[in-house]
Chain A
Amino acid sequence: MSGGSDIGIRFDGVSVAYGANTVLDSLDLTVERGEVMALLGPSGSGKTTALRAVAGFVQPVRGRVLIGDRDVTDLPPHRRGVGMVVQSYALFPHLRVEDNVAFGLKAQKADKAGIPARVAEALEMTGMAGYAKRYPRELSGGQQQRVAIARALAIRPGVLLLDEPLSALDAQLRSGMLAELARLHRELPEVSILYVTHDQVEALTLADRIAVMDQARLQDCGTPQELYRSPRTEFTASFVGNANLLPVRVGDGQVRLGDAELTVDTAGVAAGTTATLCVRPHLVGLGEGVNALRGTVAEVQWRGATHRLYVDVAGQRVKADVRELRVPPALGERVALHFAPEDAVLLSAGVSADE
């Protein structure tokens, strides 16, 4: 293939199993050069296994792993040349920050004279230049994670593997580090990044594309916009963002939920079948309108800027995030909700994730 150098990472039917337990089931996925691919899924979905297959810490029972146009399936980890950052930082506790960052350069027998400059460059890039002489235990969690990133970048890898890198940080640090990672990616446009996370905000913020994993399988893959605005499966709809998934009967140009007749785009779904209607809670409004859903208020949560209402409509609990209400509805009160036809996506039953 002439475009071989455009590949960052390629999974070619990769399966990983421990005994009879398949933890990754024939994964086919290509990460372009310079692309940020998020592997998003709940724990046990196989996303970390996929990353470890790239790093070389698990051996696939079937399939090939390619980095660039190199088949690395049978290479030991130390010959793969990937940078890796994990949740626990995994810094070497007895080495100073600068020696941690220099470790990879020394291990790869880089030109001795050039090492200090490359260490300084990596620390500069992650904003840790002032901490070169410190030991890891003298740094905060966020600082340790920056050092871990600097250590991974110092060897100038073509591929950077990030395994839940922000999960050990508190919420405020996390959003700061997200911005940092986005900046690093802009500064290193050649580096492909595989980013494993269970946090959809991280995936939506950072990724060029998101691969949604569940039960050892790739469920869906697309840009954040595609997955968020028009999810193809119920699993994607509920995991990427948060969605109301309502079982409806499909008619011609409209669907029925209980007594309510709702106008949505029914293209591609046969009339007379059942399907799942996906509507994001923040796109649901309170009050009468087109596509009105009438029901009783089951729960009201005040979240500062918004109110989250849970309304029982025809046996289904519908979530609505509305702007803070001066007088929120009382529990048990009958209210009407509405949503615009173009804000709903109809998922035909055939592509639903669970039977």
Chain B
Amino acid sequence: MQSKTSFFNGTIFKKNLTRYWPLWGMASFGGALFPLAMLVNLLHGSNAFRMEPLEMREIYFNVLTYAVPVISIVYAILCALAVWGYLYNARSVGMMHTIPVKRDSLFVTNVLSGLTMMAIPYAVTGILVVLVSLAAGSFDGLGTLVTVGGVICDSVCFFGLATLCAMVVGNVVALPAVYALLNFIAVLTDATINLLAQGFIFGLNGSYSGQFEWLSPVVYLMKKVSADCEYGQIKEINNIEQYYYTSKLTSVTLENGYILAIYGAVGVALLVAAYFLYRNRRSESAGDVVSVKALKPVFRYGVAFYAAMLGGRLLYALFVESYDYSDVLRVAPLSVCMFVAGAIGYYAASMLLAKSARVFTKKSLIGLAAVAVGCVAMCITMGYDLLGISRRVPTADSIETLTVYVAENNYNLRGGQDEELIEAVRKMHQTLVNQQERAKQNSKERCFETNGKVAFTYLTLEYRLKSGLNVQRRYNLYLSEDVMALDPDSYDAAIDELVNSPAMRQRRIHADDGAKVTGGWVNSYNGNGFDLNEREAQALLDVLKQDAAEGTWGTYDWFDRDYETAYAVDLDLEFQIVDSDGRTHYDYINIVIWPEMDHLTGKLLELGLAEPEDLISRHEYDERFNWGYYDKDPEVEAMLNAYSKAATETVIGGAYATTSVVVG
């Protein structure tokens, strides 16, 4: 039976589906287990799946967001292997290209076969879920429709990518490898470059920037698309005529659902690209790792690049970092390590392409030289920060949001709303990058050293720009009390000035930043503690703001000088923050309570969250309840004496010297 449509061949379609029925049959069986489990639940009278249609929609959307991309990414490559597997064997490709059917028709038929194989398990599962939800009274038409659309988009996207990969490679092992690589290449490249760059560039401390995440559909979809649920308070009455409020789902939408449609369209575009590659595909490429001639150099140098980046860093860690503990990478040794690893990658790729180990030709030395130049150029670019990454401080008008973590607290600033604070942070950031050499030198010299005069702190800045880009910096800093006091232009002073400015003190307790206090804890050193409800937490926050405004709270002590004078009771507050993407986060801040904080201490006493005897200093507490107590205890005293005696007898020596006991 030959199809009358020239772009479709029924015999090949039937052959594909019947030949690979175990694939889609097993997948359908696996998918059908979930609705069958729902049915069994219902038949046993369980109410687990007797839900409102909106609740069912939420489940649909969660499945669409988290399960479908993961299932599709795996299942698409299996379907692609089934329909395109013939391309990788000289016998099978010969047979399929001998039969009287055009490549156009063969391509379209195979694509439709693959998509059908992808659709069958989803369709079986979907139909069964709809039937069970109809029986349970939880059917949601709109949710079903959106989910079907989303599944189609996911399937087309991943099958399109798998098909494009199938056209690019000529080897059955290379197909899943290239497919996996392409799916995660953006994430991998990002992480790889950051891995090296952070060893060179001041402030670059994240292992992954996420700038190109959109090139990895499964990662991007799972991060960006989600079920957006809204809840309302519903007044209900129980059977003893008491009114009560319950939370009820009032709306469920698919947040960023358009991204699915975009990926679906990208999938179609990939299929079109694959079609043109297939039309020009040389049957004799069966067995080659890369079947497209123009892509062979891309493969060769691509492998060399990743080998240089990852292998070079590994060699550096093994042979250089074993004796050089500096946290800053050195250009020359890293260039050598990268070149060695890059050369291995270069020749390994050449061997795969040539299907022979005889690749060490004179001609190959030109490529090897290119690898060497690339490695050195990359190291120099990063080592001397030729791109100026470490010096980059975004302009004020380009900032949409700025998140700062400093002095153990988070600050969320918004462009157009917190202009003065953003400018203050930018100024401090600029001071820091201008003095980066001193900061790096401090890090090197004062490794692990902190004392009353030097404090160690983390500073994290995350600029989200209006362009959609993120600029993230993290600094590990040693602050000097002397420099802070004597040099007002130092970064030490700039950070202190920023953190202890009145505006930042208010912001530390999330005044005017849209965050909502949702609870907290009062913790006393004597073991007593109270969980705070939202109302109590809000009351304490209000008085804390008064203390902050009056200057009795909020001065961050970098060097912990007066710590012992604080009360032996402290307060933790929990804040709920909704970011610009609509996502909810929680922030927790710890409030050390000082005797001058009249408003807060008064409110604690008023609410019964502390007793007057709790409000003693930490020093006094230790005196009274810890060391003071033990000193008076004869048993503890005897024990301390024993330790004291033991301390006069010291064992020295060991592995490298004669062991001896010194008494003194």
Partners in one complex: no
A residues apposed to B, CB below 8 Å: none
- B residues at A contact (CB < 8 Å): none
